[in-house]
Amino acid sequence: MSLIDVRHLTKTFPGPNGTRVQAVSDVSFSMEEGEVLGVVGESGCGKSTLGHSIVRLIEPDAGEVAFGGLDLAKARKAELKHSRRDIQIIFQDPFGSLNPRHKVGHVIAEPLIVHRIGTRPERLARVKELLDLVGLPAEAVDRYPHEFSGGQRQRIAIARALALNPKLIVADESVSALDVSIQSQILNLIAELREKLGLSIIFISHDLSVIRHVSDRIAVMYLGRLVEIGPAAQIMTDPRHPYTQALLAAVPKIGGDRHAARPIVTGEPPDPANPPQGCAFHGRCPKVMEICRRTRPELGAGNGAPAGSETACHLYTT
């Protein structure tokens, strides 16, 4: 049985002149326990809105999020409170996501306080255990977030996210604000914690080179839709969708070259308030065909798809 089953999740926002901006359109996927799913795409593709809709930080317009016997997309507030123990989110900005007026001990203990778990000494013991888990000293409890570096603050945010022993973590661009060397330390920590705690993670990033380090599978989003999903090894070596191929081509290899001799995608994504007919990528796609301008391709295994791989592209359906 899947840990989480997202079906036809859709979210729109009000756009200019009474239009609706399709931030997330009809997105479906499942995850197994202990799995890490990377979600990648350019800025504005809807990946963060997808993550926030799954945890109900924003209200989805339609669709289902089956988790722990509940549909989180429609659950009442009291039901959600319980499920929030099992799903936590880590945000991009370690500077903005920690309350600067509270000491680190209180910041990490806050989920325990909200859910009325443990006595004060028990919570302190748990906080120290969590600090150790994320590689910070126990003395950090009495210091304020501003006394720590960006990477250390993200460790504090991770410790807080782990306080309630969640089953699933949504990590939303959680290393994007950090220097490259610090990014790799945090990625290593996330990989360690996943092994140690059996965590499932939805790891959202605009950067395929970051996603590949932690993901079992990778889902690629373009203009609010999934355009490709498959095993990370396949996506990183043999992507099928032209957009994924272009993202991969932009990833630098060790030594400075690009990852593959494929064209880097140029131009801007279309206006989500006025999406084009047919395939949303057709205006930028080097392999565009006539059908692409008229008919939107559906996500599917298609011709010759590797095991577990699905692509929304007419190259594999015609």
Q: For residue 295, what are the contacts with CB-CB under 8 A and spacing of at least 6?
A: 278, 279, 314
Can residue 289 be called a binding residue for ligand SF4 (CB under 6 A)? yes
The only residue of 51, 269, 297, 302 in contact with ligand SF4, by rule CB under 6 A:
297
Query: CA of 49: how far to CAs of 15, 39, 53, in Å?
Result: 15, 11, 6
Bridge-partner residues for 200, per DSSP? 168
Which residue matches tokens 């989003």?
Answer: 221
Return the range that interacts with ligand SF4 (CB under 6 A); candidates 56-64, 156-164, 263-271, 278-286.
278-286
Can residue 249 be called a binding residue for ligand SF4 (CB under 6 A)? no
Total site size for ligand SF4, rule CB under 6 A = 14
Pattern 47-86, ligand SF4, x by CB under 6 A: ----------------------------------------
CB of 4 to ligand SF4, least distance (A): 28
Can residue 313 be called a binding residue for ligand SF4 (CB under 6 A)? yes
Nearer to ligand SF4, 87 or 223 (CB): 223
Concatenated DSSP letters for 233-295?
A: HHHHH---SHHHHHHHHTSBPTTS-BSSSSPPP-S-PPPTTSPPSS-TTTTT-TT--HHHHHS
CB of 8 to ligand SF4, least distance (A): 21
Give dist(CA 164, CA 68) in Å, integer.
Answer: 16
Can residue 225 be called a binding residue for ligand SF4 (CB under 6 A)? no
Amino acid sitting at position 22:
Q
Can residue 305 be called a binding residue for ligand SF4 (CB under 6 A)? no
Work out the burial of residue 106: count CB atoms within 10 Å of its CB; fewer than 13 is exposed, 13-18 middle, 19 or more buried.
middle
Nearer to ligand SF4, 233 or 289 (CB): 289
Give dist(CA 153, CA 168) in Å, integer.
Answer: 21
Can residue 239 be called a binding residue for ligand SF4 (CB under 6 A)? no
Can residue 282 be called a binding residue for ligand SF4 (CB under 6 A)? yes
Q: Which residues bind ligand SF4 (CB under 6 A)?
A: 241-242, 279, 281-282, 285, 287-289, 292, 297, 313-315
